[in-house]
Amino acid sequence: MTKKNAFYAQSGGVTSVINASACGVIQAAKQYDQIGTVYAGNNGILGALREELIDTYAEDDATIAALRHTPSGAFGSCRYKMKSLEANKAEYERLIEVFKAHDIGYFFYNGGGDSADTCLKVSQLSETMGYPIQAIHVPKTVDNDLPFTDNSPGFGSVAKYIAVSTREAGLDVASMCETSTKVFVLEVMGRHAGWIAGAAGLASEAAGQPPHIILFPEIAFDKARFMARVDECVKEHGFCVVVASEGTRYEDGRFLADAGNKDAFGHTQLGGVAPTLATMIKDELGYKYHWAVADYLQRAARHIASATDVEHAYAVGEAAVHKAMEGKTAIMPCIVREEGEEYRWHIGEAPLSEVANVEEMMPRDYITEDGFHITEAAYKYFAPLIAGEDYPPYKNGLPQYASLKKVFVEKKLDGDFAIK
Amino acid sequence: MTKKNAFYAQSGGVTSVINASACGVIQAAKQYDQIGTVYAGNNGILGALREELIDTYAEDDATIAALRHTPSGAFGSCRYKMKSLEANKAEYERLIEVFKAHDIGYFFYNGGGDSADTCLKVSQLSETMGYPIQAIHVPKTVDNDLPFTDNSPGFGSVAKYIAVSTREAGLDVASMCETSTKVFVLEVMGRHAGWIAGAAGLASEAAGQPPHIILFPEIAFDKARFMARVDECVKEHGFCVVVASEGTRYEDGRFLADAGNKDAFGHTQLGGVAPTLATMIKDELGYKYHWAVADYLQRAARHIASATDVEHAYAVGEAAVHKAMEGKTAIMPCIVREEGEEYRWHIGEAPLSEVANVEEMMPRDYITEDGFHITEAAYKYFAPLIAGEDYPPYKNGLPQYASLKKVFVEKKLDGDFAIK
């Protein structure tokens, strides 16, 4: 086998463990003489198009090892979906040009559904444009909506953050509800699927424990039923904790957060599901409320990452390299859950042609019949994904995250490529 | 010394370490034969007025020990400020009646400024109503606004949560800013004082690191100056992280969060400082933004508590009992910072007459001249308070917090007392 370099890039919304996958790719690559070096794209695929390549082998081993406990995308990520070959051939030609110039034979793309699609297209270049390249997709997304894999690396840690935060805030509200806040609303990510909202359900280990109500994008929001349940809950427990997906929507598809409210200046009210629900509750029931929007805090929270998730993320990165060395292309290493009571998993693989652009929703039987909580089946699915703690090192009370030198590879091509 | 029982109650907004103080009180009390048992008020002082007393000695030792790592108020807290003796004598007479009925000679009140005032009044009952009771205030508040004590137990853990979250979210935004979010706004607690917002500054260890802008209640908000700084920051670093106190206000005193915006139905817009700032930034500068409101998550986050804060909280609880046994009354144990480079502290005491109803603001020299960040002096003050981690035990991926049996003491008085 001739020696070839590898290209690795991070794509889409980052997670608290995507760098663990980068760590897996780089550490595994170093085991193979056939791999010259691993170049990382500066800001994802844009780094390839712009010929901005970071030489990961120029970082010292300790820094690469520290990626395992560093959140967000250390090499920069981007939201940039490459069009079809027909629509923008120039872009693909540019990719090949850059790959050729830097002798790149392996393409590792770390992202969600969109990037699985890009990765598939790159693998097809190998045939259509006559340049040999093996393209492997490394799965990542907090949304947990990738098909084939039992779960998406990145999800387990958000799930843990949300479950822990719900338990903690629930205790807070419980202790204050006699004279103060009666309803607390926590807004969580997941515009299309309710996986993250569902994970909040893990906080509840006995009937009546928070969260009392979970709102999923999969279940149409019925204001009257919701209000009745909130009221019932306050009357029964003295308080009510609601966890709402940012994608909570009405029967007609409108998001609660985009309900068309205008402020005094005629601007569409920014909303957020949590403040919208809180206002409704105040207006209809008169209860004192508080609300929180975790936003990026949830997907960046490496300090409370799931050890299982970190292992998964590292393993898919590592496996991507091993599979490339076995000659594979156009595949995605995935997490396979084994049968049995005890949680066991191994790495499998899925063909990219069947992964790209498919979104996996919460199965209906993971949501209780009334649409407000998770079932035992969901609990069994979620629980192992948040298991274990994997704390980063601390100094002066703060987590110490990897800081890269980012040594850029000298450009070999003339001029800049204009991104459309 | 005759044997007397003790009464302990939690007051006001809870923290992630107030139960560590409860643990300190109860474990210290058990060392003294002079103390019969420790009764905890169910929902704070209301528990005394309603004769709802929880026998803490009926809990097993392991449960009491677990209070040290359990957030929120395990016995229930309340927002209820007792009026002056003249305004509501009946309430004080009721307190004495309950204390007499249950042979209570020690009053430990765990709260902030308002409860220091109540505690002082209770100590005065001893003279004015001829019933001997020693009243000790155990300091607690995330707002860090109590005088005399170097810091308020509860604050260090919020400070750590905010500094950690700011660092993590900052990495997230940094990695995505090329094609996505350019400005991130995190809203934090602290309606009157900027201590919590200021602690976010710890996340920045080198020039240019997030947070780039901190908004304090102490510094009047100047929209034009703020926008110019945001823009400058995005142009220089590619992104801008703003941490804003919920108490951020205009020169004329209006809170940003209550800026009078109305929604389509004529309701005052719920606001929140973060969405308000985010909308302004979008309108003025056009940058893509995200915002988060940590709300209760920050003060309940025992999973990332400061070890120093936990030690402080336990120590003030423990000291309250020792000081009562020394015959003290109308005092508050406080944290005294010792001179020298290395952080050392010990427990001192402050007279309640000088503690009650005094709010400690951020000193002006803790805020940079431009009003947007903290100074080296502030850094030196804050840093030791977030030092050390004190993780709770986990099971199935979730922190295991104390769950009390709550054995109520049989009522000895007739009828219910009507709370006004």
| Alpha-carbon gap, residue B137 to B355, rounded angstroms | 10
Q: Which residue among the candidates B60, B103, B117, B143 is catalytic per the annotation?
A: B143
- Do residues B33 and B368 touch, judged by C-beta distance below 8 A? no
Nearest to A177 by CA among A291, A292, A289: A289
B336-370 pLDDT, tens per residue? 999 999 999 999 999 999 887 788 889 999 999 99
Nearest to B112 by CA among B309, B320, B355: B355
Question: Which residues in chain A have Cβ-Cβ distances shorter than 8 Å to B265?
Answer: 261
Distance, first Cα to last Cα, chain A? 37
| Alpha-carbon gap, residue B212 to B204, rounded angstroms | 8
Query: Least CA distance to A294: which residue of chain B?
Result: B292
Q: Which residues numbered 356-385 in A keep a CB inside 8 Å of some CB on B? A: 383
Residue of A171, A179, A294 with shortest CB distance to B71: A171
B49-93 pLDDT, tens per residue? 999 999 999 999 999 999 999 999 999 999 988 888 788 888 989
Q: Which of A164, A243, A291, A420 has the highest number of chain B CBs within 10 A, making it the mutation to test binding with B? A: A164
The 10 Å CB-count burial string (b at 16+, else e) for B132-171 is: ebbbbbbbbbbbbbbbbbbbbbbbbbbbbbbbbbbbbbbb
A102 — pLDDT class (breaks 50, 70, 90): very high
Whether B284 and chain A come into contact, CB under 8 Å, resolves to no
> Helices H, strands E: what count in chain A?
13, 13
User: What pLDDT shows up at residue B265?
Assistant: 44
CB contact under 8 A, A178 and B71: no
Residue of A78, A172, A295 with shortest CB distance to B72: A172
Question: Which residues in chain B have Cβ-Cβ distances shorter than 8 Å to A283?
Answer: 267
| Alpha-carbon gap, residue B106 to B329, rounded angstroms | 9
The pLDDT of B223-241, averaged and rounded, is 98
User: What pLDDT shows up at residue B359?
Assistant: 84
- Do residues B273 and B291 touch, judged by C-beta distance below 8 A? no
Q: Which of B164, B185, B191 has the highest number of chain A CBs within 10 A, making it the mutation to test binding with A? A: B164
User: What pLDDT shows up at residue B270?
Assistant: 44
Q: Which residues numbered 168-187 in B keep a CB inside 8 Å of some CB on A? A: 168-169, 171-176, 178-180, 184, 186
For residue B388, say whether it is annotated as part of any ligand binding site. no
B316 — pLDDT class (breaks 50, 70, 90): very high
| Alpha-carbon gap, residue A307 to B163, rounded angstroms | 23
A207-258 pLDDT, tens per residue? 899 999 999 999 999 999 999 999 999 999 999 999 999 999 999 988 888 7
Q: Identify the residue with better confidence: B267 or A189.
A: A189
User: What pLDDT shows up at residue B403?
Assistant: 95
Q: Which fold has domain A4-141+302-358+391-399?
A: Rossmann fold (3.40.50)
For residue A95, say whether it is annotated as part of any ligand binding site. no
Q: For the ranges A185-194, B120-129, B300-309, which has the lowest average pLDDT?
A: B120-129
| Alpha-carbon gap, residue B297 to B310, rounded angstroms | 17
The pLDDT of B266-286, averaged and rounded, is 79
Residue of B179, B389, B391 with shortest CB distance to A78: B179
Q: For the ranges B9-13, B86-90, B376-380, which has the lowest average pLDDT?
A: B86-90
- Which distant-in-sequence residues (6+ apart) come within 8 Å of B38 by Cβ? B5, B6, B7, B8, B25, B26, B29, B56, B57
User: What pLDDT shows up at residue A264?
Assistant: 42
**Three-state secondary structure readout of B256-287:** HHHCCCECCCCCECCCCHHHHHHHHHHHHHCC
A191 — pLDDT class (breaks 50, 70, 90): confident
CB contact under 8 A, B279 and A290: no
A277-298 pLDDT, tens per residue? 998 999 999 999 999 999 999 9
Residue ranges covered by each domain of chain B:
4-141+306-357+390-399, 155-300
User: What pLDDT shows up at residue B269?
Assistant: 43
The pLDDT of B277-297, averaged and rounded, is 94
Query: Least CA distance to B18: which residue of chain A?
Result: A172
CB contact under 8 A, B389 and A389: no
Tell me if the domain spanning B155-300 has CATH number 3.40.50.460. yes
Question: Which residues in chain A have Cβ-Cβ distances shorter than 8 Å to B171?
Answer: 70-72, 300, 401
Across chain B, which distance is largest between two alpha carbons, in Å? 73
Average pLDDT for chain B: 93
Q: Please determine whether the domains at B4-141+306-357+390-399 and B155-300 fall in the same fold group of CATH.
A: yes
| Alpha-carbon gap, residue A285 to A278, rounded angstroms | 10
Q: Which residues numbered 253-272 in A keep a CB inside 8 Å of some CB on B? A: 260-265, 267, 269-270, 272
State CA B24 to chain mean position distance: 17
For residue A158, say whether it is annotated as part of any ligand binding site. no
User: What pLDDT shows up at residue B261?
Assistant: 47
Question: Which residues in chain B have Cβ-Cβ distances shorter than 8 Å to A293?
Answer: 274, 291-293
CB contact under 8 A, B186 and A304: no
CB contact under 8 A, B14 and A172: yes
Phi, psi of B264 (to 5 degrees): -60, -20
- Which distant-in-sequence residues (6+ apart) come within 8 Å of B199 by Cβ? B158, B159, B160, B162, B163, B382, B385, B386
CB contact under 8 A, A163 and B78: no
Q: Identify the residue with better confidence: A11 or A418.
A: A11
What residues does A262 pair with on adjacent strands?
A268
Question: How far from B233 is each of B8, B90, B226, B236, CA to CA, in Å?
Answer: 50, 59, 11, 5
Q: Which residue has the tokens 């790149």?
A: A104
Question: Which residues in chain A have Cβ-Cβ distances shorter than 8 Å to B268?
Answer: none
Amino acid of residue A280: M
A8-59 pLDDT, tens per residue? 999 999 999 999 999 999 999 999 999 999 999 999 999 999 999 999 999 9
B1 — pLDDT class (breaks 50, 70, 90): low
Q: For the ranges A266-275, B25-34, B325-334, which has the lowest average pLDDT?
A: A266-275
CB contact under 8 A, A73 and B176: yes
Q: Identify the residue with better confidence: A68 or B417.
A: A68
Contacts of A114-117 with C-beta under 8 Å, sequence gap 24+, read A114/A11, A114/A12, A114/A81, A114/A357, A115/A11, A115/A12, A115/A45, A116/A146, A116/A332, A116/A352, A116/A355, A116/A356, A116/A357, A117/A81, A117/A356, A117/A357
B197-230 pLDDT, tens per residue? 999 999 999 889 999 999 999 999 999 999 999 9
B417 — pLDDT class (breaks 50, 70, 90): confident
Question: Which residues in chain A have Cβ-Cβ distances shorter than 8 Å to B163?
Answer: 397-398
Neighbours of B409 (CB within 10 A): 18
User: What pLDDT shows up at residue B192?
Assistant: 87
- Whether the pLDDT of residue B419 is over 80: the answer is no
User: What pLDDT shows up at residue A263?
Assistant: 42
Question: Which residues in chain B have Cβ-Cβ distances shorter than 8 Å to A74?
Answer: 175
State CA A77 to chain mean position distance: 13
A151-169 pLDDT, tens per residue? 999 999 999 999 999 999 9
A271-281 pLDDT, tens per residue? 589 999 998 99
A379-402 pLDDT, tens per residue? 999 999 999 999 999 999 999 999
Task: Mention the CATH class of domain B4-141+306-357+390-399.
Answer: alpha beta
User: What pLDDT shows up at residue A420?
Assistant: 59
Catalytic residues of A: 143
A328-368 pLDDT, tens per residue? 999 999 999 999 999 999 999 999 998 877 888 899 999 99
Å from B289 to nearest chain A CA?
Answer: 11
For residue B13, say whether it is annotated as part of any ligand binding site. yes
